[in-house]
Structure formats: structure tokens, C-alpha cells
Structure 1
Amino acid sequence: MAVTPESQNDQTVTVEIGGMTCASCALSIEKALNHLPGVGRAEVNLALERADIRFDPATAPIPELVDTITQLGYTVRQDSITLMVPGMDEEPLRERAEQVAQRITGVVAARGNLATGTLTVDFLRGVVEIPEIIARLADAGITARVVGNDQMDARALEMAESRQRLVSAVILTVPIWLAMLHTMTGLGPRWLGEPWVLAVLATAVEWGPGFPFIKRAYLNLRHKNANMDVLVAVGTLAAWGLSLYDLKVHGPLYFDSSATVITLVLVGKYLESVAKGRTGQALTELLALRPASARRQTASGDWESVAVELIQVGDRVQLRAGDRVPVDGRVLEGHSAVDESMLTGEPWPVPKGPGDPVTAGTMNGSGTLVMEAQRVGRDTALAQIVRVVEMAQAHKAPVQRLADRIANVFVPTVMTIALLTFLGWGLATHDWRASALIAVAVLVVACPCALGLATPTAVMVGSGLAARQGILFRSAEALERASQVDIVAFDKTGTLTVGRPEVEEILTAPGVSAGELMAWAAAIEKASSHPLARAVLSYAEDHRLAVPEGESIYTEPGQGMVGYIGSQEILVGNLKLLTAYGVIPDETVIRKVDQRLKSGASAIWVAQDGQWRGVVVVADTLRPEARDTVKRLQRQGLDVALLTGDQKETAHSVAQRLGIHRVAAELLPEAKAETVREWQAAGHRVLMVGDGINDAPALATADVGVAIGTGTDVAIESADITLLGDDLSGVVRMLVIARKSLGKIRQNLFWAMIYNVLMIPLAAFGFLSPMVAGAAMAFSSVSVVSNSLLLRMARLPRTRQRPLAKPS
């Protein structure tokens, strides 16, 4: 381990850095680190790709050092491990586990997940090792273990252990129930009624299936912490210990109470683990999208089937009909259509040909493709999606804070109430045995687990549902904030529009068809790389036009292209080109086109042998689903706004077609962010949707930033939520999921709190036996998780099919 204390406070770490290409890279990192308060010395070695840093952890914690390096554009090589922590379905233990882990030198971040009972630790490679992390957690009384790749996952392991403990408890408790039946009815063999039989069976339950409660209770109390294990252990030990004493003095026995409570609690824990496993089903389905094997080309040109883990960058991979794409890459050969619905939520297959990207987890259609691997393993988009969803599930929503504060004082408060109940009933009735049982019921009926599971289970189901729709929430806080917005602001270019010129309208002279006109234009525009030319060629390709061969093509600077098809002279360009060659178009058409030019469109005029033949109106067209998306948002009571750097005429034309009334145009990037701040100052909560670098400031400033997944990496990194596809209706689905998830969180918190408000007084006043209390406690956690699972049945707005090509 590369940690050596330099002085009483200072430590030295050696971190591995990626992305350095020259000495100036190393110097810039070194300079930035040495300027940080608390850093005594930082030396960066380019050849070894590492930095030796002496620092004071109190002043310059490791996460700050990592952030400083990554903000310069370099990477700090890290590893991540997920640990299973029994009992971590309660807020106090999660907080303490995170705090202990984050105090370990070399740990960058630690995230506990109450819904899965796991702790994910990100740590610097070579600075700290996994056994040390586990040992440091154990020193703090927190039992943790790694679930390896060759073992079942944390949820399945938890379920298996819960089932094993439950079966053991039932086998030992059923004879105790039969003994109770024998005592009441006389049925069954006489030995069932022997006190020593009950004592043996109850002791086996208490110190067998019930021992984990006792062990964790001891570890928590030793570290001045109290959780549900303390309540169960104290309650059942009290009933069991009192029964042992009464066995000696021939008093009444309560072995049935201690054994039954443990069994019922284990029933609840097993049902809870089953339900929690279902909350992560969407994430499990995402992970299952990656195939186990792939067909890789060998050096001799043959194809071999290998495990996906063996695919490396640069390998050629064959995709046959129906195959799932194993890694990210680009198509080299072949044509097909790829179903990307499981990643983007969009139902239509996407045509793929040479040069097109393909993503791991998507499914190839009927054609055969050969692709080149470009991103493998943890670098694939699918792996990154899973990591983002896992991080979102590990975060807490702000609405959980009240429950957290209650949970931190819950167990001490319950133990105080139980003590007062014991003393009150004992002093009033002088029946201390009965008073002890009532106090045990108070301890057992209380359930902080329900409070702890209220938020994470709903977030887990909601974010998993969103991921299947191609929507990535980066945190639970983003999910909550999204449900509270009242203004949805859209960028124009690339967000409401497709972001590239497309043929929008074709006007032709009498006797000329749209197909003929576009074939002539495409024949001449083949020689041009202008964006308007690409729009014409794309139209011709989409409509499979028979494009003739153009000859003797030349450019008239600033006006257009001139060429020949056979002996016919073809002009393709602006109105100036036609005027220069003495061609006069129809006046009515000119006026109509002028109106379109004022709204931001462009016109390509076409003439043949000195005669005007038509005009092609090209514009950055609206996305097919844009109008429907705006209407749906407005029907939800949201104010839809347009923020754009484009000219006012174009912006208002687009807004008018979409029914948007709040428009701000001709804005620089910072002006977009300033407009968002003005709306926030007026009391609005703003959701910003964008795709470009110029949207990044506004995305970061808004209460919620939503990036279109086809946009730039800068926009996606600045956003709280990412839509993996380019379908704007994902914004509507995202808001529906956010609102329904927050609704479930509030329902869960209400029922968890009202349960304790009602049940604890009932137990304290003697209306609940320990056994009934145990059953009630088991039910409370299961009900919260089951309520969250109802989110999976949420009805979401459908995506509308869009045409592959624009009609003429």
C-alpha cells in the first residue's frame, strides 16, 4: 500500500493518472495540485503515469485531489467494489458505513443503498486494497463481504440467506406451536408439554436463526448505535431470559413468544428481500442485454465464438440476424436495421450501414453486419448506463431527510418508551412478568426499516423504469426536483428541430414532378459538400430516386452550381444564380418563398435550359414529435418556453407552429443561463432541455437539466437527466415517472410513520401481544416495498412512430 505518513497530520499517496500525453500535461497537474490548500508537495511522473502527493487529509481530502485532476481533463484510475452489509436497510447504519469508508485513505466515495443492503466503495487503485476496507469496516462493527463475479448477486444472496434462516426457524418453532395446541386441547404426545422441550427449542431459535440479530445488536451498541436489531434482540432476549428464570422457579413460560417473534420477523425479512429483488429487476434486465459470447474474426479470416470479455478494441465482430451487439463500435460492412428500443425506449428499428455506430445490448435485425469494436467492458454505453442508474439509486431524495432525522433518534426513543411502559405497568399492577411482555411488544412492534426503505425502494423502481425507457436520472434529487418544475424550456436547434437542414417543401413548374426536379438537383449537388446539398442528396436517397449522371459541373461562387445532364444545362442555387443566367421564376412563387426565408428557411432554385423548373425549400425542420410533446406538457399545466441563440423571426416562427408563447431569442450561452436565473428569481422552478455546448450553462443553472442523448458530451455531463434517444416525448415520460415516483415516496413515508404512531401506543397500552407485534412489524416493511413495486405498472405516454423520410 502506497501510504506513508510524513508527519503527525500529513500523508502521502501515489495515484495513477490516465490521459497525459506530454510534459506540459504533467506540469499542469502538478501546478494545480500544489496550489491546493493542504497539499505539501505534488510530483507528477509522466513516464510512470502517476502522481506522488503529500497532503493533510483534514484540509485537502482525497475526493478534492481527484476532482482537481479530473477537472483538468485527465482521469484518476479507480476501482469500485460492492459490499453486502447485513442490516443496512436502516438509515443510521448506512450513514455510519459511508462515514467509516470515506475516512479510509484512498477511498474516493462510498454510497450505501438501503434497498439492496449494499455499500459501493470507489477507491484509488494501488492506494488501498479491498481487505483493508473490509477490515476497517469490521473495526467499526460493520460486517461486510464481497460478492464475487462467480457468486450470486447481493440481492440473490440476501434472499438465499433469509430463506435458509426462515426455514430453520420454522422447523424449530412449529413444535412450540404444537406444544401450545397440546396445552390448550390435550391433543398430541405428552412430551410436547414438557417445559424442557420448549426451553431447548426456543433456545435453538434464539441462538440459531435469531443469533444474527443478537450479534448485530451487540456490534451496534458497542459503537453507540442502535437499530432494529437492537429492538428485536432486546425484546426476544427479555422474553427468553424471563422464561428461563421462570423455568427454574416454576413460573409461567414465554418461550413461545420469543421463538414466534423471531420467526415472524424472519418471515418479514424474507418477503422483504424477495420484494427488494423485484425492485431492481429493470436494472437486472439491462445487465442481461449484453450477450455472453460473440463471433470474432481470427488472423486467418475465419470467425470464432469467444466470450464477450475477450473482445478487445479494434477486433472485427460479426453480427448475424437476431444477434445482440456485444460491445460498442461502428459498422464496417453490411446493411441492417437495429432494434435500440431496450436502451432508448423508441420502438422503431434504426437503419445501419458502413460508418454507423452500434451500441452494446441492442439487437440486430435481418441483415448481417461486420463491426469494429471501439469501446469494451466498463467503457460501453450499456455499462455506463448501469453505473448511472446504480448511482441514482444510491442517492437520497431530499424528501427523505425528515425520515432520516426521525430514524436517528427512533430506536433510543422506542427503548425509552418500552422502559417507561415496563415501569408504568409494573408499578400499577405489580405484575412485573406481564409488564415485561408488554414492554417486549413495544420493542418488537417498532420498525425503523419501513422508514429507511420508503425512499430507496421507490427510487430504485422509478429509476429502473426510466432506464428501460431510455431516461437516465443521475440522482434521486434530480428525480424529486423534476416532479416539481413549472417551466419546461427547450433549446431550438437540435432539440425541437432535427439539427440539420432537410427538404421541407418542393414547388414545381407546371408539367414537372417533384421526383424529376429533385433528381436533377441531386445530379448537380453530388459535387458539393454544402449542408443544403446534403439535404437534397439525403432526400434523393430516402426516396430512392434514379439520379442521372451530372457532367461538366462547376461552381458560381456565392450563387450555386451549374452543370449538364446530357445536353441540358442545369442551374441549382439561389435566386441570384437564376437572375444572372436570365431565368425569371414565377412572381407568386417568389413571394411565397420570401415568406419562408423570413422564418429561417433556405431556398434552392432549379432551372433547365433557361427555364425555371422549381424551388426546393430547405430548413432545419421540427422533430415529428415536437408539437405533440409541447401540447402534452401544456395539458399537464406546465409553461413551455423556447430559449435559442437563433434570430427572432426564426424563433417566433418555430414557437408559433408549436404553440409556445414564452420565447427568448438571439441569446448567447451565458444569456440563456441568465434568463433561467431570472425565472428562478421570480419563483419558478425550471427544467431546461438542450443538446449542445452552448446549452451547458443553462442546463447547469436550471433546477433540472435534461440533455438529449444524441447531443454533445459536454451537454450530457452538465445535465441531471439524459434522454438516450432523440425522441422528445421522453421528456413527457420522464416527468410522469418523476411525479409517480415522488408520489410513492410520500405514500411510503406516510404509511411508515402512521404505522409507528398507531402501533407503538397500542402495544404500550397492552393491546398487542409480542407475537402479534412481530407479525405487524414484518408486515410494515413488506407493505412499503410492495407499494413501491406498483410503480412498475405505471401507464406512460406512448412514443409516436415517425416517418423515415419527409413527404414532398
Structure 2
Amino acid sequence: MATDTVEHGNGVSAPSGSAAGGVTLEIGGMTCATCALSIEKTLKQQPGVTKAQVNLALERADIRFDAGQVALPELMHAVTQLGYTVRHDTVTLWVPGIDEEPLRQRVESMLEVLDGVANVRANMTTGSVTVDLVRGVGRLDAVQAALRQGGFDAEVAPAVPSSDPRRAELARARRNFGMALIFTLPVWVAMVHTLLGIGPTWLAMPIVVALSATVVQWGPGMSFTRRAWMNLRHRNANMDVLVALGTLAAWGLSVYDWGVGGPLYFDVSATVITLIILGKYFEALAKGRTGAAIAELLALQPHEARRRTPVGDWETVATDSVQAGDQIQVRAGDRIPVDGEVVEGIGAVDKAMLTGEPMPQEKHPGSTVSAGTVNGSTTLIIEATRVGHDTTLAHIVRTVEEAQATKAPVQRFADRVASVFVPIVMGIALITLGAWGLGTGDWRHAILAAVAVLVVACPCALGLATPTAVMVGSGVGAKRGILYRSGEALEKVSGVTLVAMDKTGTLTAGRPRVQAMRAAEDVADAEVLGWAAALEQESSHPLARAIVGATTEQGVRVPPAEDVYTEAGQGVVGTVNGAEVLVGNAALLHAYGVSLPPDPEETWTRWQQEGATVVWVARDGQWVGTLAVADFVRDDAVDLIQALHRRKIQVAMLTGDQTPTAEAVGHKLGVDRIFAELMPQDKARVIEQLRHEGYHVLMVGDGINDAPALVAADVGMAVGSGTDVAIEAADITLMAPEISGILRALTVGKKTLGKIRQNLFWAMIYNVILIPLAALGFLSPMIAGAAMAFSSVSVVTNSLLLRGMRLPTSEAQISQPAGQHV
């Protein structure tokens, strides 16, 4: 219910900040959380590095550094020295004219100095240049621009970029598993023959078993040993160290026993390696699905566009070659390739894939359209305004990528555990070895128990628990028109207890309209409206636009006006057809000696109580009419507030309007608290006050004046129809104008945080239960290996369940002109 609390604000200064330069590198070869932490640790030790954050699920490193103290190649070298790779794309460009050695050297020297260019190879024979571009840093368009600037043919044709490294790694894992399985099968057959007496006898021969297990250990299993050695050299310990120590211990014990005629455990090392490689393969498959949202967004932009030539024909070109100012033909049913403005044609455009809006929007000359949206039933000609990295679609992709690359605060717990996890497990394994060996004298059993401890432990699940859930949650939000700027925003929005909302443009449509009119006797309504519009037609004030808009809707002719000037805080004065006309508030008429008429049936009072602005019109010193100009409550505002109340979330309304208008709107909507007559800095002060009272505040706004409050809130949310300033200041952006998206944003945040907590619980409980069981001798190394292999798979699969979450829907369309007036 609405409250009687109405508060006013005073100004305070807002803090300022600065950002450091940086880069995001794609890292290959990470297997667990400790891998990510070791890379972070090494990068932070480099001079000039102020921030290093590595995301295991995305396989990326976000680095902020001072380029004056450390260069990018040095950072890349620090990563590769640990045994990991910095991914790059290899592209080939055809550059005619490099048939001489000086020209070849010139091309290479020009390109080698570009950011993100790792290597350049120019071939005089073929007239081609092959460039290795660091993923996330190097840009093909920068290479092309450098070549054009150097005087080489600008019409370069890049080859298809090299295959996706993730797919290459997936294929490599598949090959490794195939090889491991082929050579582990004889070991399994020998084990069955030994236990049950069935199967070919020759496969049970020790030499066959030993050779098969050795191929697995030093073939597919060599990747674990190599990465373990590289990490240990740098005093890091990760999952590879556990696997390598465990399998090498089992293999080494078997080699020794083979020499002295003791029992063999080759089945342990071979089986553990094979199962872990299988688990990594399944994990890679599942991780690929968590990042599917980015691929689906990128797939929205067509690769080709139909561009108008200088002679007026249409040519099919690559979308990347379209420049701002080019005219593009978009036929019915085609996706729009770039952001632009319609110059010819009228039709409907489906924006559901970008904003979640279910209904197509009508477009006509002058309307803006976005890349990735679908044209309806007629051909449109658009003029490109934003292309490439500047389109709305590209902005959405970057925002989702940034959100997925950041760590949610809850991840800090997992990081602290992972940083000490491997050393603790190694300590437990040593204790297990000593306890069993000294206590029973059976050192073979002691070694197998210690191997089981090493193998069953899995820090991967801890490392994947948070980022995979954030990836899926942010992806689900993006497909419904909700952009989360960070994983922290996803986590924080789940705990909101109060939603503070700007009034104009958020709770109301922000487009005032003339709602009612009363004219003096012998004066027509159309005359009053025409005289008022004559003075207001050059003004950009919302009330002025409402009055001028009413003449268009009603077909009223607007006479010309002369000598128009503004009386500050009161209204405007001018001459229309030789008569002096006043348009403004009651104070303006009093100042010019015009008497106000009596209030028939308390009409003026009722208009003001309903939240309308009363505009008085006088002509030649006599009152001729009064207009009621009011904004509309958005169609979904009341339903939204009721839904928030059902979730036990309070609602506050913040506005710069006068108290009577604010109260009228607030009581109509049913908000809990009303703050009126606020300057932009006052809104930020109110947010701080609400937070001090113990509320976890979500601020929703759409204008420049909302930016300080968006920053001051626990979570800031900008409505997509708002200004760029508001969107940049917000943690969450609703791409669609309907504010019912607030409910969807809250739902995604709550369910994502719930899934993160589930993942962390299962990751922890898995180790809490299985490590002691292994230490007590209840788990064989093979069972431990199987459990370890599938623990991280289960966490990733659990995160993928978020893709099926049900979100609140709303049929209300804000774009419809109908609604309640304030």
C-alpha cells in the first residue's frame, strides 16, 4: 500500500573514479581451479600488473597493467612458461604487389607493431600474408587498415580464421580417449581373465599388460605429467599434480613388482587415466553448452549484406565491409546486418531476439533498426549508422562476455579453498601412506590407499561451480533482453529487498499528453489549443511537446506566432494574429493582471489531485481556456508493483516532481515510499539513506539524472529506452522498454545464485565424503578415478539446468498509447 511518507533532498557530491588499461587473453590448457589461481598469482607478480583475474570456465585472463612497466609479450610469456597456451587465430590475406624482398619486409614490420599481432609471415611467391592474431586483442580490421595506409591494395580477402581452439581441444581429448581406451582394453581383459578365468590367455601375460599400461601412462597420460612438472617448477600444485603422482606411483610400483615377481597394479594407472580423460571430454562438451548463448547471439548477425553501389545497383558484400553511410537493402524475412535508419519502406521488425519483446514494431522512414533483428513482410532500405564492433548486437555480446568473465563474490570462498586444496590433499595422502604402511606393514596397500586419495580429490568442481552457473544465467538473461554487466550483479540482484524507481519514463511513459480541456464561453476548444501550440511549437519542454502533439492528433491548425519569449518559471508570452497570448501557470496570468475564472465543479483542483499539470491560456488580457497535461502510468507498472509486494519486496518512488503530483502517482500505483522534489544528487542521497536503513536496494531509472542513484545503489538497473549515461552507469540493462523485465532479472539472479550454492555444496560434500573414504581404504584407485572424472561433469550439468528456468512473462506492451493517465 502507498504510504504518507514524502521526503525532500539536498545535494551531495558524487565520487569519481578512473580505469586502467588492460587486455583479455584466452588461455588454453587449464584443468582445474588451481590452474587458474596459479596463472593469477604469476601474472600479479609481473611489474606493472594491477589486476589479474582468470576464469576457468571461459578460459580467459582479464589483466590490467601499466604498459610503461610491462609489455603484452612479457605477460604472454609468463603464461606459456607455466605450461599453458595463449590462444590466437591465424588468418591469411591476399596482398598483391609484395613480390620484392623490401616490400615483404615492409609489410611484416608494419604489422608486427600492431596490438595483438603475435606473428607475421609474408610470402612473395603466393602474394599472401599470414598473421597470428591474439584472441581478444588482435583485430583483423586493424591489419587491413594498416595495409591500406601503407599503400597496399585495400581490397584484401582474409582467409577463414583457424578452427575454434575449444573444438580443437575437444577433438584432441577425443583422440586421447580413443588411444587410451584401445590400450586399456587389454588390461581390463587380463583383469577379467585373472578374476574369472575367462578370455584369451595371451592378453593376461604380464608383458602385454605392462606394455599396454605403459603406452597409456606415457602416451595420453603424458599430458598430466608434463603439466604437473611445469607447475611444480613454479611452486604451483594443481589437479595434474594429483593425477600424475597417483598414476605414476601405481605404474612405478607395478614396474618394480614385475621385476621382483610381485602383484601388478597396471590396471590402476591405465584405468584412472582413461576415466579421467573421458571425464574431461564430457566436461568440455558440457562447458561448450554453457557458452552457447554467445554463439547464438553472434549467429544473429548475417555474414552478408546487399549494399547499394554508386550507380544504384545492389551488390552482395561481407557484412564486415559495410561502412557507416552505406545504404543496405533488407528484404522481407531477412535479418538486418547493421544498425541503421530506415530511408525507404514501411514494415514491421521483430526484435524478440534482442529485447524479448514479443510483438514486432512498425518501422518507417526515420525509424532506427538494430543488427540481428528480422525484417517483416516488406523490403526496407536502411542507411548504416553503426557497424562492426559498434552495433547494438556487438554491445550485447561484449556485455555478456564481460559478465561471464567476472567473478561473483561467492567465488572468493571457492578460490580460498582451492588455493590450499592440493597441498592439503597431498598431506592427507602422505599421512595415509604412513598410517597404513607403519600400522599394517603392507606398503603396497598403503601406496594404493594413498593413490586413491590423490586421485579422488577434484578441485575442478570447486573452480567450475560459480563461473558455469554465471555463464548460463547471464546467457538466459541475454536471450530475454536482460544484460548483466558482471557476475557480481547476478549475485547481488538475488538479495534485493527494496526496489527504488524513478517516476518519469520508468513508472510512467514519460510522454505527457493533453488529457482534458475547458474553454471559456464562445471560444472553441480547437482555438485554445491552436493558440497555445503557436507559442509552444519551438519549445522542447515535455509539456510543450504534449500540446503541439495534441494539435496533430486532433487535426487543429496552428497559427503563426511572433515575438515569443519565456517568463522564467511561469510560461511563455507571444503575439498570435495581432493579439497577445499567455500560456503558462496561474502565476503568469496574475503577473499580467489576468483574473482566473472560478473553479467549476472543482475541475482544476481535481486535475491537480490526479497529478496533472494545469496550463492556463489567456488572450488580450482575458482567460480563454485551461488544459490538463498529464503523463501516463505504464501499462505494466501496477502489475509489477503488486508482483514485487508478493515477493515481500518494497517499492519506493523517486521523482523531481512536486509533492502533490508525486503523491497522486504514488497512491495510484500503490508504492510504499514516496520521495519528491529531488535533484539528481538528492536521489543518490536517498538511496544511501535506504541502504543505511538496512535495505538491499535495486535502483531503476532511465535518464541522465538517474545516473548518480544507479551508482549509489547496491544494484543499478537501466531501462533500455533510457539514455546512454543511465545504461553505462547501471549494473543491469533491460533492452526492452517494459519494466516487467525487472521481475525476470530478479528471477534469473535468484535462480543463478541458488544454482551456485548447490554447486559449491556438492563440490565440497563430494570431497568431504570421498577423501576420508579413500584414506580409510574403502575406495579402490579405479573407483576413485571414476568418481573424480565425473564430479566436475555433474557440476557443469547442474548449471546447464538453468537453461530450462521459467521466467515471468507480461503481455503488456509499453509502446501502446492506451493507459491510465496520472
What is the deviation of 1:755? 0.6
Tell me the SS of whatever aligns to 1:706: strand
Whether the 8 Å CA contact 2:344–2:365 is kept in 1: the answer is yes
Question: CA-to-partner distance for each residue in 1:164-201, whole Å, 9 max, x for gaps?
Answer: 22222222212221222222333333211111111111
1:435-485 per-residue CA deviation (whole Å, 9 max, x = no partner) reads 111111111111100111111011111111111122221111122111112
Q: Does 1:117 align with 2:129?
A: no
**One-letter identity of the residue aligned with 2:466:** T
Deviation sequence 1:621-664 (CA, Å, 0-9, x none):
22211111111111111111112222111111111011012111
Counterpart code for 2:472: V
Does 2:710 match 1:767? no
Alpha-carbon separation, structure 2, partners of 1:124 and 1:303: 48
Structure 2 letter corresponding to 1:344: T
Match for 1:389 among 378, 390, 400?
400
Aligned twin of 2:39: 97
TM-score, normalisation: structure 2: 0.80
Say whether residues 1:806 and 2:818 are aligned partners: yes
Q: Does 1:137 align with 2:148?
A: no
Q: Which moved more, 1:708-717 or 1:94-103?
A: 94-103
- What displacement does 1:210 show? 1.2
Q: Which runs of 5+ in 1 are unaligned?
A: 1-66
1:193 corresponds to 2:204: yes
CA 739–502 in structure 1, closer or farther in 2 if over 3 Å, else same: same
Preserved CA contact (<8 Å) 1:466 1:737? yes
Residue aligning to 2:446:
435
- Counterpart code for 2:298: L
1:406 aligns with 2:411: no
Give the one of 758, 772, 791 matched to 1:780. Answer: 791
* Structure-2 change in CA distance of 1:518 and 1:806 (3 Å): farther
Partner of 2:767: 756
State the identity %.
53
Structure 1 pair 135–578 and aligned structure 2 pair: CA distance change class (3 A) = closer
1:593 Cα deviation (Å)? 4.0
What's the secondary structure of 2:421's corresponding residue? helix
Q: How far did 1:104 drift?
A: 5.6
CA contact (8 A) 1:115 1:456 kept: yes
What is the match of residue 618 of structure 1? 629
* Partner SS, residue 175 of structure 1: helix
Give the deviation of 1:109 after TM superposition: 6.0
Unmatched segments (≥5 aa) in structure 2 = 1-16, 92-160, 566-570
- Equivalent pair of 1:134/1:145 in contact (CA under 8 Å): no
Residue 275 in 1 paired to residue 290 in 2?
no
1:251 to 258, 262, 279: 262
Q: 1:433 to 1:517 in 2, by over 3 A?
A: farther
Specify the alignment match of 1:38 in structure 2. none
Summarize the Cα distance change of 1:724–1:758 in structure 2 as closer, same or farther, 3 Å threshold. same
Residue of structure 1 equivalent to 2:26: 83
Q: Does the CA contact (< 8 Å) of 2:411 and 2:466 recur in 1?
A: yes
- Give the match for residue 335 of structure 2: 324
| In structure 2, distance between residues paired with 1:754 and 1:322 | 52
Which residue of structure 2 lines up, in the alignment, with residue 7 of structure 1? none
> Cα distance, 1:387 vs. partner?
1.5
The corresponding residue for 1:672 is 683
Shift of 1:796: 0.7
- How far apart, in 2, do the equivalents of 1:441 and 1:677 lie? 54
Residue-by-residue CA offset, 1:727-771 (whole Å, 9 max, x unaligned): 211111111111111111111111100110000011111111111
* Shift in CA distance, 146/774, structure 1 to aligned 2, threshold 3 Å: same
Letter in 2 for 1:775: A
Counterpart of 2:26, as a letter, is L
Which amino acid in the other structure matches residue 87 of structure 1? M
RMSD of Structure 2 on Structure 1 (CA): 3.7
Q: Quote the Cα distance in structure 1 between the aligned partners of 2:803 and 2:355.
A: 17
Equivalent residue of 1:329, what SS? strand
What is the match of residue 8 of structure 2?
Answer: none
| Cα distance change, pair 681–548 in 1 and its aligned pair in 2 (3 A) | closer
Structure 1 residue identity aligned to 2:205? E
Q: In 2 relative to 1, CA 154–123 (structure 1 residues): closer, same or farther, beyond 3 Å?
A: farther
Q: How does 1:234-633 map to 2 (within 5 A)?
A: 234-504=245-515, 525=533, 528-530=537-539, 531-532=542-543, 534-535=545-546, 538=549, 547=555, 588=600, 591-602=602-613, 617-633=628-644
**Cα distance in 1 between the residues matched to 2:614 and 2:417:** 66
For residues 162 and 306 of structure 1, the distance between their equivalents in structure 2, rounded to whole angstroms, comes to 38
Is 1:738 paired with 2:680? no
Query: What secondary structure, in the 3-state scheme, does the structure 1 residue paired with 2:718 have?
Result: strand
Matched to 1:163, the amino acid is R
Query: Displacement, 1:235?
Result: 0.6
Following superposition, the deviation at residue 540 of structure 1 comes to: 7.4
Q: Is the 8 A contact 2:31 2:240 kept in 1?
A: no
Q: Is the contact made by 1:517 and 1:606 (CA closer than 8 Å) also made in structure 2?
A: no
User: Matched residue of 1:498: which SS?
Assistant: coil
Report deviation, 1:374: 2.0
- Selected match of 1:699 from 678, 692, 710: 710
Deviation at 1:585, TM superposition (A): 9.2
| TM-score normalized with structure 1 length | 0.81
Among residues 639, 644, 650, which one is paired with 2:655 in the alignment?
Answer: 644
Please give the alpha-carbon distance, in whole angstroms, between the structure 2 residues aligned to 1:277 and 1:688. Answer: 34
Q: Distance in 2 between matches of 1:537 and 1:671?
A: 32
CA contact (8 A) 2:179 2:220 kept: yes
1:363–1:446 distance in 2 versus 1, CA, 3 Å: same
User: For the residues of structure 2 that align with 1:615 and 1:346, how far apart are their CA atoms?
Assistant: 38
Amino acid at match of 1:645: G
Higher relative contact order (CA closer than 8 Å, sequence separation 6+): 2
1:139-154 alignment, distance < 5 Å = 139-147=81-89, 150-154=161-165
CA separation of 1:313 and 1:476: change in aligned 2, threshold 3 A: same
- CA-CA distance at 1:532 after TM superposition: 4.0
Alignment partner, residue 214 of structure 2? 203
Residues 180-238 of structure 1: per-residue CA shift (max 9 Å, x gap):
22223333332111111111111111111111111111111111111111111111111
User: Which deviates the most, 302-311 or 519-528?
Assistant: 519-528
Determine the C-alpha separation between the residues in 2 that align with 1:201 and 1:781: 28
Whether 2:235 is the aligned partner of 1:224: answer yes
1:36-55 to 2 correspondence within 5 Å? none
Alignment CA distance shift 1:650-1:575 (3 Å): closer
- 1:304 Cα deviation from its structure 2 partner: 0.9
Q: Deviations over 1:284-333 (max 9, x none)?
A: 11111111111111111111111111011221112222222212222222
What's the offset of the Cα at 1:123? 7.7
1:5 matched residue in structure 2: none
Query: Do the aligned residues in 1 keep the contact of 2:31 with 2:460 (CA within 8 Å)?
Result: no
Measure the CA separation in 2 of the matches of 1:788 and 1:312: 40
Q: Which is worse superposed, 669-678 or 451-460?
A: 669-678
Tell me if the contact between 2:519 and 2:528 (Cα under 8 Å) persists in the aligned partners.
no
User: In the comparison of the two structures, how many residue pairs are matched?
Assistant: 723
- Shift in alpha-carbon separation, 1:132–1:533, aligned structure 2, 3 A: same
8 Å CA contact 2:24–2:60 kept in 1: the answer is: no
